[in-house]
C-alpha cells in the first residue's frame, strides 16, 4: 500500500539516486546486485546481534531496489533480465532475514514457516497475474498493489529486528497482512483475467 500511495512523496530522493548512479556510469543491473549484497548483509547483522546495522542495511538495500528501476526507465535499459534479478533478489533478501531470525529464535520457527508460506502464496498470485495479464504499468510487468507491499514488509522486518520481545506477535501480524494481500490480489485477478 505504501509503495503505491507514498511513492510520490519520496520519488525525488529515488530519482536523485538514479541520476547519481547513472553519472557514475553504473548500470541498473549493477545497482540491483549492490542492493542484493547489502540486503544479504542484513542477515549477517541479525546473526551478529547488530540490529541497528541490520535495519540500516535493510532500508539502504530497499532504497537501491527502487533506484535501479528508476535508472532503467531513465536510461531506457529496462530488461526482462533486470526484472528477473529484481524480483529474485528481493526474495533472497527476505528469505535470508527469515532464516537468520529462525536461527536466532528457535521457538519462532513455526511462526516463520507460516510467514514464508504466506509470502510464497502471495508472490505466486502476484507473479502469475503479472505473467497472464496484458496490462503493463510503470514497471516492466503488471504490478498488483495490495495491503502488504515491500515498504510494509520492511517496517515489519524492522520491528522484528529491533524489538525481538514482540517477535511472535509481529510475525503473526505480518503473516495475516500478507494473507489478506494474497486474497486481495486473487479477487482482483478474477476480475482482470
Nearest to 38 by CA among 16, 79, 2, 67: 67
Residue 157 Cα to chain centre, angstroms: 11
What domains lie within the chain, and their CATH numbers? Answer: 2-192 (1.20.120.1760)
Q: Say what the pTM is.
A: 0.90
- Reported as a single tens digit per residue, the pLDDT across 128-143 is 888 888 766 555 566 6
List helix spans (H) across the chain: 2-5, 7-23, 28-47, 51-74, 80-104, 109-132, 150-162, 167-192
- Reported as a single tens digit per residue, the pLDDT across 31-63 is 999 999 999 999 999 999 999 999 999 999 999
Amino acid at each position: 500500500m505504501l509503495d503505491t500511495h507514498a511513492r510520490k512523496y519520496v520519488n525525488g530522493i529515488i530519482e536523485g539516486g538514479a541520476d547519481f548512479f547513472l553519472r557514475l556510469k553504473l548500470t541498473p543491473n549493477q545497482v540491483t546486485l549492490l542492493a542484493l549484497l547489502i540486503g544479504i548483509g542484513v542477515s549477517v547483522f541479525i546473526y551478529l546481534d547488530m540490529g541497528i546495522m541490520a535495519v540500516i542495511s535493510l532500508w539502504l538495500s530497499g532504497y537501491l531496489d527502487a533506484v535501479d528501476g528508476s535508472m532503467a526507465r531513465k536510461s531506457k535499459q529496462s530488461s526482462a533480465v533486470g526484472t528477473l534479478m529484481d524480483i529474485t533478489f528481493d526474495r533472497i533478501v527476505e528469505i535470508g532475514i527469515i532464516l537468520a531470525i529462525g536461527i536466532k529464535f528457535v521457538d519462532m520457527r513455526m511462526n516463520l514457516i507460516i510467514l514464508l508460506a504466506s509470502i510464497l502464496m502471495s508472490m505466486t498470485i502476484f507473479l502469475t497475474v503479472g505473467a497472464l495479464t496484458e496490462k503493463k504499468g510503470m514497471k516492466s510487468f503488471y504490478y498488483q498493489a495490495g495491503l502488504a507491499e515491500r515498504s510494509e514488509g520492511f517496517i515489519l522486518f524492522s520491528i522484528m529486528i529491533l524489538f525481538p520481545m514482540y517477535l511472535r506477535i509481529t510475525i503473526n501480524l505480518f503473516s495475516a497482512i500478507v494473507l489478506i494481500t494474497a486474497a486481495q490480489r486473487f479477487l482482483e485477478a478474477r476480475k482482470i483475467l
